[in-house]
Structure 1
Amino acid sequence: MNVIISASELADALAGENPPTLLDVRWQLGAARAAGEPPFDGRAEYAAGHLPGALFVDLERELAAAPGEGGRHPLPDLAQFGAAMRRAGVSSGRPVVVYDGGQGWAAARAWWLLRWTGHPDVRVLDGGLPAWRGPLTTEVRAPAEGDFEPRPAASGLLDADAAAALARSGVLLDARAEERYRGEVEPIDPVGGHIPGAVCAPTTQNVGPDGRFLPAERLRARFEDLGVTEGSDVGVYCGSGVSGAHEVLALAVAGIPAALYVGSWSEWSSDPRRPVAVGPDPQ
């Protein structure tokens, strides 16, 4: 099943017999949350114009718990997450399409959470809102209450110990920028570097200049170059489990299943007992 949808395909789906539920997950990465300042609020962008019928979902409050020992964007309370999804009209028998402002990271976080908790049909608008050529609206309609009940999968989620083990036994991809992986720059977390054994794989290299994913065959070739072979156990982490979800989505486009370490570097680096590697090499 496809995990992304083009703008033209979405327009056709919205005109069909079972149109998808639309979730607007506009969000912006920044250090403001770590500095104790108010987080970016995508509601203003949503209010200024969104896809007709779309409901806004707040990444910071509905797709993550408060920052703490589990990292800057730990898993949300699943009961609260389920309630938020039902308020947005999400039902198990109706497809869902999520989009953001174009970067794709926030939409991928929503995609990953919904898929990991059991929704059978979730896709991300490839290229996000900038790819949409249809009308926008400022009207907000309250949807009918959905029936989605989160049922977490037994696989697909890594904790710190599992991520460390996977770096030794499989392929653990670090989705952050190369300079953060090498430990040369760390704008948010207390320590720079990477999990020993992890492979540098910036998720920004999975998309073209227009923000859309590279073709599946090119993504497969990229991940093969990074050491992912048929049957590999693959995991991904990033700074706080958001851009890493985008890399998991890219892997899914390529037909490669992967698990996400949600706590990611923000959790790993908060414990001084955990080892840290620096430089361009995994070890």
Structure 2
Amino acid sequence: MSVPDDLLVEVTGLAAELASVEPPVVLDVRWRLVGPSGRTDYLAGHLPGAVFVDLDAELSGPPGPGGRHPLPDPEALQRVLRAAGVRTGRPVVVYDGGDGTAAARAWWTVRWAGHRQVRVLEGGFGAWAGTGLPVSTEPPAVTPGDVTVRPGGMPVLDARAAAEVAAEGVLVDVRAAARYRGETEPVDPVAGHIPGAVNVPATEYVGPDGRFPAADSLRARFAEVGVRPGIRVGAYCGSGVTAAQAVLALHRAGRSDAALYVGSWSHWITDPERPVAVGTDPGPSGP
């Protein structure tokens, strides 16, 4: 399998690109599951020229029946991306605080919107600041972009399709093992997993600093749970954020067809008729 070379960028490479005549658009998407908005961190210091985009309010739709982080309205997303300076044909780089989850969801969302030239900064803001590269507190001067949002640039699963992938292919649940087993559920009102899903916690395919192992290592780990050529593969988590990082890891492993169940567990459990499995066994699966 070929490995895409346009998924990630190191701080030294980005620094050189930012000093060029045509630098990429840089989006700061720092985010917390709970607590204050990442905008607080952005105002305290960000990459020079970076524009803050809120994952909760701008890269996702309102929480509700579609889950905690459903797809954004295309027209609203287009306004956000244009305001951030995203232009057709101009590369975009996204970064977060360092663990890579919010940046991966931003990467996925911008690609879903039809803009292919988007990469994640490895190590995020922590890696940038840690190397002594300049940090700014000044608001950037942004030239409005002209990007047109065309949904469908990345494969998406709804609940029925997620059940089908669990039954016929490999649906990867990337939450912590205790949540998968149904022993604890700190966020959502129901514990357990989608029947047929296999558990590969995020800690097994990405480091705490948001850096991925080599493509061969990723390919081998996912192969252990049945991810092989010709087999449908998808990923889900609690609300579709951490699972977007799994999709990025699968892309790095050569599976650019990996699909995201955007609503994830927070959507699955909105219908009491949908089955829930507990324990270490994936459980019987079916649409």
Between 222-231 and 154-163, report the one with greater CA deviation.
154-163
Q: Residues 85-143 of structure 1: CA distance to partner in whole angstroms, max 9, x if unpaired? A: 00000112110000000111111111001111110200000111111121100011231
Give the partner amino acid of 1:11: A
* Matched residue, 2:175: 176
Give the partner amino acid of 2:172: L
Q: TM-score normalized by structure 2?
A: 0.93
* Matched residue, 2:12: 8
* Matched residue, 2:273: 273
Between 165-174 and 15-24, report the one with greater CA deviation.
15-24
* Matched residue, 2:61: 65
Q: What aligned pairs does 1:220-259 form with structure 2 within 5 A after superposition? A: 220-257=219-256, 258-259=258-259
Give the partner amino acid of 2:252: V
Q: Residues 57-101 of structure 1: CA distance to partner in whole angstroms, max 9, x if unpaired? A: 001110111111000111111100110000000112110000000
Residue 211 of structure 1 and its aligned partner are, at CA, apart by 3.0
Q: TM-score normalized by structure 1?
A: 0.94
Contact 2:100/2:209, CA 8 A, preserved across alignment? no
Q: Residues 190-225 of structure 1: CA distance to partner in whole angstroms, max 9, x if unpaired? A: 110100000101122222353311111111111111
Cα gap change, 1:17/1:217 in structure 2, threshold over 3 Å: closer, same or farther? farther
Q: What aligned pairs does 1:197-208 form with structure 2 within 5 A after superposition? A: 197-208=196-207
* Matched residue, 2:282: 282
CA distance in 1, matches of 2:142, 2:211: 29
Give the partner amino acid of 1:278: V
Contact 1:4/1:253, CA 8 A, preserved across alignment? no
Contact 2:8/2:121, CA 8 A, preserved across alignment? yes
Q: What aligned pairs does 1:94-243 form with structure 2 within 5 A after superposition? A: 94-132=90-128, 133=131, 134-153=133-152, 156-243=155-242
Q: Residues 206-247 of structure 1: CA distance to partner in whole angstroms, max 9, x if unpaired? A: 223533111111111111112101122110111001001011
Cα gap change, 1:243/1:144 in structure 2, threshold over 3 Å: closer, same or farther? same
Give the partner amino acid of 2:115: H
Q: How many residues align?
A: 275
Residue 255 of structure 1 and its aligned partner are, at CA, apart by 1.4
- Three-state SS of the structure 2 residue aligned to 1:229 is coil
Contact 1:52/1:136, CA 8 A, preserved across alignment? yes
Contact 1:92/1:120, CA 8 A, preserved across alignment? no
* Matched residue, 1:35: none
Contact 2:111/2:154, CA 8 A, preserved across alignment? no
* Matched residue, 2:78: 82
Contact 1:2/1:253, CA 8 A, preserved across alignment? no
Between 148-157 and 112-121, report the one with greater CA deviation.
148-157
Give the partner amino acid of 1:272: P
Give the partner amino acid of 1:186: E
Residue 154 of structure 1 and its aligned partner are, at CA, apart by 6.7
Decide which of 23, 29, 35 is 2:27's aligned counterpart: 23
* Matched residue, 1:47: 43
Instruction: Name the % identity.
Output: 59
Q: Which runs of 4+ in 1 moved over 3 A?
A: none
* Matched residue, 1:33: none
Cα gap change, 1:231/1:148 in structure 2, threshold over 3 Å: closer, same or farther? same
CA distance in 1, matches of 2:72, 2:116: 20
CA distance in 1, matches of 2:33, 2:254: 27
- Three-state SS of the structure 2 residue aligned to 1:61 is coil
- Three-state SS of the structure 2 residue aligned to 1:59 is coil
Give the partner amino acid of 1:99: Y
Residue 17 of structure 1 and its aligned partner are, at CA, apart by 3.2
Cα gap change, 1:249/1:208 in structure 2, threshold over 3 Å: closer, same or farther? same
